[in-house]
Amino acid sequence: MVVMAAAAMLSMAGGKALRKSLESYQTALAGMNREAVEYVRGMSVVKTFQQTVDSFREFKASIDGFGEWAVKYTMWCQKRMTAFVVISSSAISLLIITALALNGGTDWSSGFLSDFIFYVVFTPIISLLLLRIMYSSREGMIVDDALARVDELLAQGPLPEPESPKAPENMTVRFEGVTFTYPGSETPA
């Protein structure tokens, strides 16, 4: 039973398919976070320039993309998780049936009874430990992916220095030659 439960667990928590899935999860989550920040930053633009929320199609697309990933991942895990829970939880039933078959149902000596009680208590702990191993391996994959993303950022070289750097003369900000138009208008505002 433990071997079958471990096999069900490994089919769900191990392998390249899960690693790729978790990478796409991190990518979808990062995209949604990035677009949420842009959405919040852009609210003043929406109010000032009379835009609509439809201007933020990227945000909606990132939410939809994350939702699609979540549904696919849930469907992928559904049968595997069900198999793991059924197999690991049914180990106690198999233990009781085996104990009755070995004992013949008649001689419940103190030695046999104490061994039986030990295994009745110990067996559920095995499934709990397998579940913790599964979650730990998943979290480890998420950490590995996050560290790879941080390493990718750190591997980028520094920005080039300008050949002749200039310091600002004062704190004045001027927009020269900048115009904008509202939707449906030909003339600049």
Whichever domain contains 51, its CATH number is 1.20.1560.10
Please tell me what DSSP assigns to residue 161. P
Residue 173 main-chain phi, psi, to 5 deg: -120, 125
The sign one gets for the Cα dihedral 55, 58, 59, 65 is positive
The whole domain housing 95 covers: 2-150
Place of tokens 């001689």: 107
What pLDDT does 45 receive?
Answer: 65
Place of tokens 């609210």: 43
What pLDDT does 15 receive?
Answer: 64
Please check whether residue 172 lies inside any domain of the structure.
Answer: no
What pLDDT does 116 receive?
Answer: 79
Please check whether residue 82 lies inside any domain of the structure.
Answer: yes
What pLDDT does 31 receive?
Answer: 81
Distance from CA of residue 113 to its chain's centroid? 45
Please state, in angstroms and rounded to a whole number, the distance separating the CA atoms of residues 111 and 121.
16
On whether the CB atoms of residues 22 and 56 are closer than 8 A, the answer is: no
What pLDDT does 86 receive?
Answer: 82
For residue 136 the two structure tokens come to 């730990």
What pLDDT does 106 receive?
Answer: 67
What pLDDT does 89 receive?
Answer: 76
Please check whether residue 155 lies inside any domain of the structure.
Answer: no
Please check whether residue 11 lies inside any domain of the structure.
Answer: yes
In the chain, the number of structural domains is 1
Please check whether residue 156 lies inside any domain of the structure.
Answer: no
pLDDT in tens for each of the 189 residues of the chain?
A: 556 666 666 666 556 776 777 778 788 888 888 888 877 777 666 666 666 656 677 778 888 888 888 888 888 888 888 887 788 777 777 777 777 777 776 667 777 778 778 888 887 787 788 778 878 877 888 888 889 889 988 998 888 888 888 888 888 888 888 887 777 778 776
Please state, in angstroms and rounded to a whole number, the distance separating the CA atoms of residues 88 and 130.
9
Place of tokens 């909606």: 60
What pLDDT does 147 receive?
Answer: 92
Please state, in angstroms and rounded to a whole number, the distance separating the CA atoms of residues 140 and 169.
51
Please state, in angstroms and rounded to a whole number, the distance separating the CA atoms of residues 5 and 42.
50
Please check whether residue 180 lies inside any domain of the structure.
Answer: no
What pLDDT does 151 receive?
Answer: 93
Please check whether residue 181 lies inside any domain of the structure.
Answer: no
Please state, in angstroms and rounded to a whole number, the distance separating the CA atoms of residues 6 and 133.
10
Please check whether residue 72 lies inside any domain of the structure.
Answer: yes
